[in-house]
Each structure stands twice: as C-alpha cells, then as structure tokens.
Amino acid sequence: MNLRNIAIIAHVDHGKTTLVDKLLQQSGTFRDNQRVAERAMDSNDLERERGITILAKVTSVFWEETRINIVDTPGHADFGGEVERILNMVDGAIILVDAAEGPMPQTKFVLSKALKIGLRPIVAINKVDKADARIDEVLNEIFDLFAALEATPEQLDFPVLYGSAKEGWMADAPDGPKENVGPLLDLVIRHVPPPHVEEGPFRLLATTVESNPYLGRILTGRITSGTIKPNQAIKAMTRDGKLIENGRATQVLGFRGLERVPVEEASAGDIVALAGLSTATVADTLCDPSVAEALPAQPIDPPTLSMTFRINDGPLAGTEGDKVQSRVIRDRLMKEAEGNVALKISEGRDKDSYEVAGRGELQLAILIETMRREGFELTVGRPRVVFERDENGNLLEPIEEVIIDVDEEHAGAVVSKLSERRADMIEMRPSGGGRMRLVFHAPTRGLIGYQSELLSDTRGTAVFNRLFHAYAPHKGEIPGRRTGALISNSAGEAVAYALWNLEDRGPMMIEPGWKVYEGMIVGEHTRGNDLEVNVLKGKKLSNVRSSGKDEMMILTPPIRMTLERALAYIQDDELVEVTPASIRLRKAILDPNDRKRAERAKEAV
C-alpha cells in the first residue's frame, strides 16, 4: 500500500497539536458524532495542564488511498532529545511557523537536524488570521534561516502553505480558499517520498520506549528492512553491535488514528511498536537473529544542567507521600533514564542522593512534578551547570541563545539585567507592534531563576525562549540572590499574629495554620542575611479590655512558590522539599548550631 512518514516540528505554541487534531478530524479518522478531547495527542495530564507537548507521539490518517504516519513532536528545547530521534523515523517534515512570531529557537534547532539528515521540509505558515501577522517578512526569515543552516538547493526550493490550524484550513495563498486541510495532505503525498526500504532480513531502530503494565516494555521505531510478525524470533544490539538479549516479538502494534492495534504483519517502511523484549532501549537495533551489523543511531546532545535528588529527611517526612525510601527513588529515576536518553543518572556523594543531569530546568521540573503526583516525597538541590574541560584543562561552560520579545519601554531593563548575568547581546531589532526582539548569548548559570525576574521587570509582557548554543570559556562570577531568608526557629503551626508582626521583615511564603519546623524557610528577608524568626508566637491575652486591642489583622498575601519558582529561588545551602501535597523550602542543615559550624568551616577553607 502507499505509505508516507512525516513529522510535524515547530517551536512551542505554534500550533502543532492543534493541526494534528484537524488532520485527524477532516481525514475521517473520527466519526462525525465522536467526542474527542481538544489537542487529542496531548494525552498526558501535565501536557494538558501546561498546554505543551512533552512526549513525541505517533498517529496516522488515510488520504487518497495513502496512509500517512504523523509524529507530533515537543516544541520545548528541553525535550529536544525526543525530536532528534524522531527524525530518523520519517522521510519528510512539516515545519510549522507562527505568522507573527516567525522562526524561533526551537524551529532553528529541529530544522538544522532535519536538513542535516537530508529531509526536504514543507513550510506551513500558521495563524495567518492573527491581527499582527507579518506573512511576507516571516517567509523571508524562514528562507534566510534555511540558507544560514546551509540547506542544499533542493531543500531551499521548499513548498509553502498558509493557513490557520485553529480554523482548520490550509491553502496556497494567505487569503484562502479557507475550506479544509486537504491541500496540506495532498502536498505531503506529492512532495514527501515513500519510505526508503533496504534489502535483507528484519531490522528496526528503536526510537522511543515506554512501559505498559500488560505488555511490558514497548519499543517504537520504523522498520528499515524485512517484515515482522507476532512471535517471530528477534534480538537486540547496541549501536556498536554488542548483543543485548534474544527474545520474541510477543505483539506487533500498528498506529491507526489515535489507537495502537495489533497487526498480523508489518513490512519495511512502516512505523510500529514491538513488545516482548525486557532490556533493549532507545538507539538499540531490533533485528532478525541472522543480522550481524547494527543500524547507525544519532548521538544525543549532552545534558547542560544537573540537580541532586535526595530522600526527604525533614521532620514532616512520610506524612504526605507513601514513596520515601532512597531505593524506591533510585528505581524510579533509573526507569526514567531508560526511556529518556537526554537524562543521565549517577550516584551522589552519599547513599541517599542521586545526580540527575538533563537539558534544562523545565525538563527536570517536569520529572519532579511527575514523581510527586505518583506519591513520591523527596528533596531537591539547586540546579547546577554541567561544566567541561578542553584539551588544555581550561573550564568550559554551556552557553545558550536567548531570544526575548519585549515592549520597547522595558528593553533597557532587560539588557541591563542580562549584562549583569554575563550575557552578550547579538542582535536588537523591532519585531512589530511596538516590540523589540533581543538576542543574547548567555551562560546557562546566569539564566537559572531569570524568567520570574524578567516577568517582573516587564510586567508580564515579555516572551522568553532559549536554546543550547555551544560550550565556551568560563565567564566568571555571576551575582546570586541578593536577599536572605526568614527561617523558622521552632516546630508547630504558624500563627496569624506572629506573621503579622513579621511583615516588616519581608514577604512571607506561608499562611496561618501551616505546619513549620526548625530550619524551614518561611519568608524572604529584606536584607542580605538570613534571620531566624518565631512564627508560632501568639498574642498575649489579659483580663483587661482596651480600645484598639481587638482590631482585625489583615495579612499581606504570601509569595506562592511553584516548583519552578522554588528551584530558581534557592541557594546552594538550601533545598526544595517536594511532596504530593506541598512544596516547602528549607535549609540543607536544619539545626542552627550545625549550620553555623558548617559556615565557619567553609570560610576557613
């Protein structure tokens, strides 16, 4: 049968998943009366809440007697490891670009990977119905991007469609006809070549892995050669040809719409999921026992940030979660590392901690959020940059390309703050509608915790995007948090009267009735030093009534610490305590005397 494999790649929030919704609806994959959730491909709870795609997923549609396998990919650079592997499964790609924002960092990242492996992308300019759309300028920017990424003449001759995924149409011109997404599917069939099939027995490169409670480990990839049937004998090999295991394909699953259905046979060129192997993982070759040579796999970009994951050893440990032992945390992290090749897990300094290295704060925050929803309790240290050394022993650090769209009135404050954080401005130009586009090369260290500061400086109007650029020589010291912390000196439940009396010391992070313990951070000190405070102190009662004594206390609302904000806020000697019900900040050493001794020892060194 006729077959096409394509990926839809774009920057976050440019409309990939919405477009897939329309392709599924208009190709007849759903019944007219079938109830389907909006953004049907975002099946994960966190994906729905945040409005982002975290895991790459496969679906398929029938159009003009051709089955088109479509891979929906993440738009955040933190999940770029997913995109790099997905491109090996497809023969074409749709580059979706916002008609107002134009090509953004993730567009550049995935496009460079697609061009490098020889794909000839289709460009779809989405959201042409927006009031601030700049269609012609965006098309020129896309062409310049292709040229800058050293596209071949064939790749530069890309077809262009215009449309609105939300309204459900694509056309050869920005003004329509606004009927359906059929022109896009027709173009895919004409422009994307059929899958390249090699001669020989069955071979498949595993691209994604997941765990299923009924089928065990499921590996997804494209069949390079041969055919596969249920119960057929197969083996798994590493990239360098070492045997991992022998086994059988207990089930062969094909993608039909949103469903994965068992198939009797799958042949070369098709994307399938296989069950039956217990240790094979991403980038391994699954093949017939007679095959001796593994398929080449793309190397994955190295992680740039690491965090320490520890057990929760605070006084409230075990009161809100049921998975608290270091062994359970280790097993969960190792399971995550199997399916997410962009993560690196290693043993920490002591037996109860583990170093987790990933692509960025968002990727690690998503992992922590997923674990807390599964019932885990743990403490997490401050994100740290993964340094490297060159041949001469000089220290190198990761540098990121930062693109910020901001109103002109706030551009000065942004430039000032980022220059303090050792960032170099590369470009500054108008982006339409009284806004400026600022491009920086900034050390990853300087961007930890910057996003919340940026939103404060720009009154929430800035759009912040970042992408790993390269390793460069160490840029020197970067100033950290300028304020100290208010630390509880006793355990119990916070009292409104005590919080009211402490308001002039700084904003609080807790509310009356919240449980606190010695060493827990309860607020932000207005000065640079830490201060121990008593949040349990109640009002002294007397038997004499006097005017003014019973006035109502109105407390300033506390600072709401989300997980990302807490990770960005803490210093090296502080931890974030994460439980299914709470996110607390605390000192790594809870006892004040031990804390002072540790500080004196550090100063002596």
Per-residue model confidence as pLDDT tens digits over 368-422: 988 998 899 999 998 888 888 777 778 888 888 888 888 888 889 899 989 988 8
Six-digit token pair at 400? 């990121």
Domains, the chain, in order of start with CATH, read 2-191 (3.40.50.300), 203-287 (2.40.30.10), 388-473 (3.30.70.240)
pLDDT at 585 over 90: yes
Burial readout 415-426 (b: 16 or more C-beta within 10 A, e: otherwise): beebeebbbeee
| Nearest Cα to Cα of residue 267 among 195, 171, 339 | 195
Q: What is the mean pLDDT of residues 199-212?
A: 85
The pLDDT assigned to 161 comes to 93
The pLDDT assigned to 228 comes to 92
The pLDDT assigned to 74 comes to 67
The pLDDT assigned to 123 comes to 93
- In a 10 Å sphere around its CB, with 0-12 CB exposed, 13-18 middle and 19+ buried, how is residue 307 labelled? buried
The pLDDT assigned to 430 comes to 83
The pLDDT assigned to 41 comes to 42
Q: What is the mean pLDDT of residues 16-23?
A: 80
- Choose the weakest-confidence range: 37-51, 286-300, 410-424, 486-500: 37-51
The band of 546, judged by pLDDT with boundaries at 50, 70 and 90, is low
pLDDT above 70 as % of the chain:
89
pLDDT at 57 over 70: no
The band of 35, judged by pLDDT with boundaries at 50, 70 and 90, is very low
- Please state at what angle helix 361-373 crosses helix 326-339, rounded to 10 degrees: 130
The pLDDT assigned to 241 comes to 84
Question: Which residues make Cβ contacts (< 8 Å) with residue 265, sequence separation at least 6?
Answer: 227, 228, 229, 252
The band of 55, judged by pLDDT with boundaries at 50, 70 and 90, is low
The band of 252, judged by pLDDT with boundaries at 50, 70 and 90, is very high
The pLDDT assigned to 340 comes to 72
The pLDDT assigned to 143 comes to 92
pLDDT at 76 over 60: no
The mean of the pLDDT values for the chain is 83
The length of the chain in residues reads 605
pLDDT at 69 over 80: yes
Q: What is the mean pLDDT of residues 107-115?
A: 81
* Helix locations, 426-508, DSSP H: 444-447, 450-457, 496-501
The pLDDT assigned to 47 comes to 46
Q: What is the pLDDT of residues 166-195, one digit of tens each?
A: 888 899 988 878 888 888 999 999 999 998
180: left (phi over 0), alpha (psi -120 to 50) or beta: beta
Q: Which residues are annotated as a binding site?
A: 13-18, 126-129
The band of 82, judged by pLDDT with boundaries at 50, 70 and 90, is low
The pLDDT assigned to 37 comes to 44
Six-digit token pair at 179? 């009927």
* Helix locations, 149-245, DSSP H: 153-156, 182-191
Q: Which residues are annotated as a binding site for GTP?
A: 13-18, 126-129
pLDDT at 56 over 90: no
Q: What is the pLDDT of residues 346-372, one digit of tens each?
A: 888 887 889 998 877 777 888 898 899
The pLDDT assigned to 441 comes to 92
| Nearest Cα to Cα of residue 137 among 432, 383, 532 | 432
Q: What is the mean pLDDT of residues 260-268?
A: 90
- In a 10 Å sphere around its CB, with 0-12 CB exposed, 13-18 middle and 19+ buried, how is residue 59 labelled? buried
The pLDDT assigned to 45 comes to 56
The answer to whether 126 and 14 have CB atoms below 8 angstroms apart is yes
Cis? peptide before 512, omega within 30° of 0:
no
pLDDT at 146 over 70: yes
The band of 38, judged by pLDDT with boundaries at 50, 70 and 90, is very low
Q: What is the mean pLDDT of residues 541-566?
A: 74
pLDDT above 90 as % of the chain:
20
SS3 of 452, please? helix
